[in-house]
Chains A and B, each alone.
Chain A
Amino acid sequence: MESATQDPPTTSSSAAPPVPEPIPPPAHSWPGTLRERTERFVSWVSLWSIEQRVLAGFGLVFLSIIVISIVSYRNTAVVVKNSRLDTSSHELVQLLGSIEEALIAAESGHRRYLVTGDESYLKAYRGLMEQMPEFSRYLQALASPSEQQQRITQLEQLIQQQLDIETDAINRRAMHGAEAVRHLALPGVAKRELDDIHRLIADLESSEQQSTRTRVLQSAGTTRGTIALLALGAVLQLVLLGSVYFLIHHDITSRRRVAAELRRQGELLQAANKELEAFSYSVSHDLRAPLRHIDGYAALLSKTAGESLNEKARRYLETISDSAKQMGQLIDDLLVFSRMGRQEMLHSTVNLNQLIRTVIHDLRLDLQGSSISWTIGSLPDVPGDPAMLRQVFMNLLSNAVKFTATRPKPLIEIGATRDTPGEVTVFVRDNGVGFDMQYVNKLFGVFQRLHRNDEFEGTGIGLANVRRIIHRHGGRTWADGAIDQGATFYLSLPLKRTSS
Chain B
Amino acid sequence: MTTVKPILLAEDNPRDAELALAAMEEHHIADKVIVCHDGAEVLDYLYCRGTFKNRECGNPVVVFLDLKMPKVDGIEVLRTIKNDASLKPIPVVMLTSSREERDLAQSYALGANAYVVKPVEFQQFISAVKELGVFWGVINEPPPEGS
A292 touches B99 (CB 8 A): no
Query: B19-30 CB contact bits vs A (8 Å, 1 = yes)?
Result: 100100000000
Contacting residue for A289 out of B13, B100, B119, CB 8 A: B13
Contact (Cβ within 8 A) A295 B97: no
Bound CA span A291–B19, Å: 12
Q: Does A72 contact B (CB under 8 A)?
A: no
The interface bits of chain A over 305-325 (1 if a CB of B lies within 8 angstroms of the residue's CB, else 0) are 000000000000000010011
Q: Mark A140-166, 1 if CB is under 8 A from B, else 0.
A: 000000000000000000000000000
Checking B19, B96, B119, B122 against A321 with a beta-carbon cut-off of 8 angstroms, the contacting residue is B122
Residues of chain A lying within 8 A (CB to CB) of residue B15: 289, 293, 296-297
B123 at the interface (CB under 8 A from A): yes
CB of A295 within 8 A of CB of B122, answer: yes
Number of A-B contacts (CB under 8 A): 60
Nearest CB of chain B from residue A90's CB, rounded to whole Å: 99
Stretch at the interface among A32-40, A118-126, A267-275, A280-288: A280-288
Residue of A nearest to B68 (CB): A285
Cα of A208 to Cα of B130 in the assembled complex, Å: 128
Q: Which of B76-112 contact A (CB under 8 A)?
A: 96-100
- Min distance, Cβ B145 to any Cβ of chain A, angstroms: 35
**Which single residue of chain A is at the shortest CB-CB distance from B15?**
A293
Given A285-B68, A321-B122, A293–B19 Cβ distance below 8 Å? yes
Bound-complex Cα distance A286 to B99 (A): 12
Instruction: Assess whether B44 is interfacial by the CB under 8 Å rule.
Output: no
Q: Which residues of B contact A297 (CB under 8 A)?
A: 15, 19
Known A289-B13, A296-B15; contact A328-B100, beta-carbon cutoff 8 A: no
A299 to B122, CA, bound (A): 7
- Chain B residues contacting A331 (CB-CB under 8 Å) are 120
Q: Does A186 contact B (CB under 8 A)?
A: no
Contact residues in B for A300 (Cβ distance below 8 Å): 19, 22, 122
Among A285, A286, A325, which residue has its beta carbon within 8 angstroms of that of B121?
A325
Q: How far is the CB of A365 from chain B (nearest CB, A)?
A: 15
A295 touching B16, Cβ below 8 Å = no
Q: Which residues of chain A are near B19, meaning CB under 8 Å?
A: 292-293, 296-297, 300
Chain A residues at the B interface, C-beta cutoff of 8 Å: 281, 284-286, 288-289, 291-293, 295-300, 321, 324-325, 328-329, 331-332, 335
Q: What are some 22 contacts across the A-B interface (CB < 8 A)?
A: A281-B98, A281-B100, A285-B67, A289-B13, A289-B15, A292-B16, A292-B19, A292-B97, A292-B120, A292-B122, A292-B125, A293-B19, A295-B125, A298-B122, A299-B126, A300-B22, A300-B122, A325-B120, A328-B121, A331-B120, A332-B99, A332-B120
Residues of B within 8 A of A (CB): 13, 15-16, 19, 22, 67-68, 96-100, 118-123, 125-126
